């Protein structure tokens, strides 16, 4: 028997008008409904996020974020880079403008410095799981709202849970706060469980003397 799901239409969610109509769907194994289209009885935005984060195709679920009002005016989704057995998990604050343009996390000059940092400890991107706290660039590069962070957090938690013994390197003040309740610069390079917070690469580029502190923080991670 076909299950009817509601597709949002004329529903004011987060200040955005969405359409609502009935559509017959027969879900198949591994089926991932389009982001923010499925409404289950009593399910809200966060419940939908948790459901999508549990989907087999995590990248496909994240790419569907473009259909959600929280996505705002970003150009692209910026999904994580996944690794079956990561030697290092890297969590960065938010995508840069270059990331928004390319749809790839840690791109442009910032990404080049990041790759050099990994190379210095004998690693490459293929060895890591890399994710931003929010999978799109908030308008103007502003700090994500609590709702935006909460919406994306189930995906971050799934990535971390897939390799529970792996060290986590956070890049930037917001990632340090969210993952370790740490404060930069005070807690730079300290260990909080398996989390080590450091500056994000673009901040290092703007402050070259910090390279020494960053090297001391990461040299044992390779």
Convert the pLDDT of each residue in 76-125 to its tens digit. Answer: 999 999 999 999 999 999 999 999 999 999 999 999 999 999 999 999 99
Q: Would you state the pLDDT for residue 19? A: 26
Digit-coded pLDDT (tens) for 176-201: 999 999 999 999 999 999 999 999 99
Smallest Cα–Cα separation from 199: which of 180, 216, 185, 220? 185
What's the predicted TM-score (pTM) here?
A: 0.80
Q: Using 50, 70 and 90 to split pLDDT, how confident is the model at 36? A: very low
Contact 38, 6 (CB under 8 A): yes
Which range has the worst mean pLDDT, 32-41, 136-145, 189-198? 32-41
- Helices 146-161 and 45-53, axial angle in degrees (round to 10): 20
Q: How far is CA 60 from CA 76, 78, 100, 122, 202, in A?
A: 13, 11, 17, 30, 28
The CATH architecture that domain 88-218 belongs to is: 3-Layer(aba) Sandwich (3.40)
Mean pLDDT of the chain, nearest integer: 81
Q: Using 50, 70 and 90 to split pLDDT, how confident is the model at 52? A: confident
List beta partners, residue 131.
Answer: 91
How far, in Å, CA of 86 to CA of 213, rounded?
24
Averaged over 127-132, what is the pLDDT? Answer: 98
Contact 118, 81 (CB under 8 A): no
Which range has the worst mean pLDDT, 15-24, 42-51, 62-71, 162-171? 15-24
**Which ranges in the chain belong to alpha helices (H)?**
45-53, 58-63, 97-102, 108-120, 146-161, 173-180, 201-206, 211-218
Q: Would you state the pLDDT for residue 103? A: 95
The count of other CB atoms within 10 Å of the CB of residue 125 is 16
Domain ranges of the chain: 3-71, 88-218
How many helices (H) and strands (E) the chain has is answered by 8, 7
Residues with Cβ within 8 Å of 164's Cβ and at least 6 positions away in sequence, in order, are: none
The residue length of the chain stands at 222
């Amino acid at each position: 028997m076909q299950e009817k799901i509601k597709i949002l239409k004329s529903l004011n969610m987060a200040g955005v008008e969405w359409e609502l109509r009935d559509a017959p769907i027969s879900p198949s194994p591994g089926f991932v409904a389009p982001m923010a289209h499925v409404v289950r009885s009593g399910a809200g935005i966060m419940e939908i996020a948790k459901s999508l984060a549990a989907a087999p195709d995590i990248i496909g679920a994240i790419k569907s974020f473009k259909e959600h009002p929280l996505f705002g005016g970003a150009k692209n989704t910026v999904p994580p880079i996944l690794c079956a057995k990561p030697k290092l998990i890297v969590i960065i604050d938010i995508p840069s403008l270059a990331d928004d343009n390319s749809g790839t996390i840690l791109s442009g000059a910032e990404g080049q410095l990041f790759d050099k940092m990994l190379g210095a400890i004998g690693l490459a991107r293929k060895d890591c799981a890399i994710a931003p706290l929010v999978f799109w660039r908030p308008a103007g590069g502003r700090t994500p709202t609590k709702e935006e962070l909460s919406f994306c957090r189930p995906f971050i938690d799934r990535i971390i849970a897939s390799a529970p013994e792996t060290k986590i390197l956070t890049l930037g003040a917001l990632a340090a706060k969210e993952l370790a309740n740490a404060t930069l610069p005070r807690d730079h390079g300290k260990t909080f469980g398996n989390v080590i917070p450091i500056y994000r690469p673009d901040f290092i580029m703007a402050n070259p003397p910090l390279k020494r502190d960053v090297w001391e923080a990461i040299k044992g991670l390779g």
